[in-house]
């Protein structure tokens, strides 16, 4: 049976369309999750919502306990995850407020707990990660977006950086040469951990600024990011609300 979780990112710390909300605290061998799990229903189906930065948005990208979060969702029987991430736009089709469903990722993060194959594991796992995102989730999101007249980019390469600082212009130029279309700080190791746990994982990214050196503005201000986030997240919420019934049929 399909069981869906949404991992909310910056700008989506709560997901109020769920009814009959209850919370569940899950104990994991990897420590505490970012938040208690919010479990609610939509159209009679249970959906789990987990804000990866915590409900008070106080956990920085490099301090998120990705292993505990994914482990807790697996323990709840989750089969499919839609991860929401805000990103900077690098290539020309990725302007602020554009919704993007990436198909590939390049990992520039470091020093994060990025695998369950640690010293306590019985054996080392070498997952296939050639296609890091679930094709069925990506197509589902794309179809629902098209049906809702929500402009979305159906493929992109996500460059995952360490943060919490934004990048230099030279770093973004290098990422562009590498083939990245968007840049964010929370795409990894989340996607790989989901694969290790055999959970289908798709990403709904929202562009909230031009990446360093890409826009007309000299500086990337939090004020500008906030403005694009408010506007764009309204579309993300609408998209997710409409997509859930379709995702539940996967």
Least distance (Å) between residue 2 CB and ligand HPA: 30
Could you say whether residue 161 binds ligand HPA (CB under 6 A)? yes
Q: Which region among 49-57, 64-72, 127-135, 181-189 touches ligand HPA (by CB under 6 A)? A: 181-189
Residue 164, preceding bond cis, omega within 30 degrees?
Answer: yes
Alpha carbon dihedral 68, 241, 17, 97, in 10-degree steps, equals: 80
64 vs 144, which CB is nearer to ligand HPA?
64
Helix axes 222-247, 135-147, angle to 10 degrees: 100
Q: Tokens at residue 128, please?
A: 């296939």
Q: Which region among 97-105, 109-117, 124-132, 180-188 touches ligand HPA (by CB under 6 A)? A: 180-188
User: What is the Cβ-side half-sphere exposure of residue 117, based on CA atoms within 13 angstroms?
Assistant: 10
Q: Tokens at residue 131, please?
A: 């296609």
Least distance (Å) between residue 97 CB and ligand HPA: 12
Could you say whether residue 209 binds ligand HPA (CB under 6 A)? yes
159 and 177 Cβ atoms separated by less than 8 Å:
no
Contacts to ligand HPA from residues 54-93, by CB under 6 A: 86-88
Residues engaged in binding ligand HPA (CB under 6 A): 86-88, 161, 166-167, 183-185, 208-209, 211
């Amino acid at each position: 049976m399909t069981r869906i979780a949404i991992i909310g990112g910056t700008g989506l710390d709560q997901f109020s369309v769920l009814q009959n909300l209850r919370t569940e605290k899950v104990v994991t061998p990897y420590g505490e999750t970012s938040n208690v799990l919010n479990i609610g229903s939509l159209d009679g189906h249970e959906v789990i919502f987990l804000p990866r930065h915590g409900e008070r948005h106080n956990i920085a990208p490099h301090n998120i306990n990705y292993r505990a979060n994914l482990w807790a969702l697996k323990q709840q029987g989750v089969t499919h995850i839609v991860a929401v991430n805000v990103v900077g736009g690098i290539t020309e089709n990725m302007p602020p407020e554009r919704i993007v469903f990436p198909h590939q990722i390049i990992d520039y993060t470091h020093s994060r707990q990025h695998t369950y194959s640690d010293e306590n594991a019985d054996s080392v796992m070498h997952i296939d990660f050639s296609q890091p995102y679930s094709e069925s989730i990506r197509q589902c999101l794309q179809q629902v977006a098209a049906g809702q007249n929500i402009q979305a980019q159906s493929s992109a390469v996500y460059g995952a950086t360490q943060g919490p600082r934004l990048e230099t212009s030279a770093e973004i130029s290098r990422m562009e040469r590498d083939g990245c279309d968007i840049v964010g700080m929370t795409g990894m190791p989340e996607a790989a951990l989901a694969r290790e746990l055999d959970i289908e994982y798709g990403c709904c990214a929202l562009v909230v600024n031009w990446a360093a050196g890409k826009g007309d503005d000299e500086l990337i201000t939090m004020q500008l990011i906030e403005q694009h986030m408010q506007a764009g997240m309204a579309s993300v919420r609408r998209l997710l609300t409409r997509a859930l019934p379709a995702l539940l049929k996967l």
